[in-house]
Amino acid sequence: MPSDKRGQGVAEPLKIAFLASETEPAQRALKRLTSRYGSAPLDQADVIVALGGDGFMLQTLHGTQSMDLPVYGMNCGTIGFLMNEYSEKDLPQRLARAEEAVINPLAMCAVDRNGDVHEALAINEVSLLRAGPQAAKLRISVDGKVRMEELVCDGALVCTPAGSTAYNYSAHGPILPIGADILALTAMAAFRPRRWRGALLPKTAHVRFDVLEPEKRPVMADADGRSVRDVVSVDVHSEPSIRHRILFDPGHGLEERLIREQFL
């Protein structure tokens, strides 16, 4: 977290930029907090406070990734795995004490049936999902080597440690420690091979999905809500040149949350 000490030992308040989702609770919180603390323009801020749920937190991180500003989320939504508890009291002190987690996103490059190329970044996961009544057929390659000639399934995903408790966990994938240089590759409702439970891959791995029978078995790709229909191939890798800085209250960071989720 940036220090609030600047100049020659003179304390200056942190410049906070508040962003909020369009939901009524988040908008009410925005009015109360800006009335109490003010709100700096993004280009002058030391820290961003995002008000909403996990979806808005992801939206904020994507929208401000070029600024290299830490983002502190306060939960005005439902789950709030990436968020801190909402409180209007002592916010500058909470920000000064906050612990930082740094996350590298996944880069997706998807090619559709028209040959158009679509690129997007994902903090949680890149997923491929069947888009018709029949199961998808996927060929999976890792670092240029085919590892599975044919996976028949409802879909498959690659996730970061930060996203391992999201869709990945619902699909019975593993929870990854936040500091692990690992990606999880997980299938959704695998039909053949029926017992395949996915794979753990090094963070440096480049994963490619080729869609088999794309006209008969259409597939869509999704990167944190950015969807591409009728894909024929999707390449996924971690993007180390981009980092997202997320702030958590002491003792409630991502590492603690990931461990806690495994004992619920």
| Catalytically active residues, by annotation | 54
Q: Residue 181 annotated as binding?
A: no
Q: Residue 154 annotated as binding?
A: yes
Q: Residue 11 annotated as binding?
A: no
Q: What is the DSSP letter of 174?
A: P
Nearest to 60 by CA among 9, 126, 123, 7: 123
Angstrom distance (rounded) from CA 40 to CA 131: 43
Q: Residue 125 annotated as binding?
A: yes
Q: Residue 166 annotated as binding?
A: yes
Nearest to 201 by CA among 221, 222, 186: 186
Q: What is the DSSP letter of 146?
A: E
Cβ pair 55, 83 in contact under 8 A: no
Total H helices, total E strands in the chain: 5, 19
Q: Residue 221 annotated as binding?
A: no
- Which residues make Cβ contacts (< 8 Å) with residue 207, sequence separation at least 6? 140, 141, 142, 158, 183, 185, 201, 235, 236, 237
Q: Residue 104 annotated as binding?
A: no
Q: Residue 132 annotated as binding?
A: no
Nearest to 70 by CA among 20, 142, 126, 14: 14
Angstrom distance (rounded) from CA 92 to CA 5: 13
Q: Residue 189 annotated as binding?
A: yes
Q: Residue 50 annotated as binding?
A: no
Q: Residue 241 annotated as binding?
A: no
Binding-site members for NAD(+) are 54-55, 124-125, 154, 162, 165-170, 189
Binding-site members are 54-55, 124-125, 154, 162, 165-170, 189
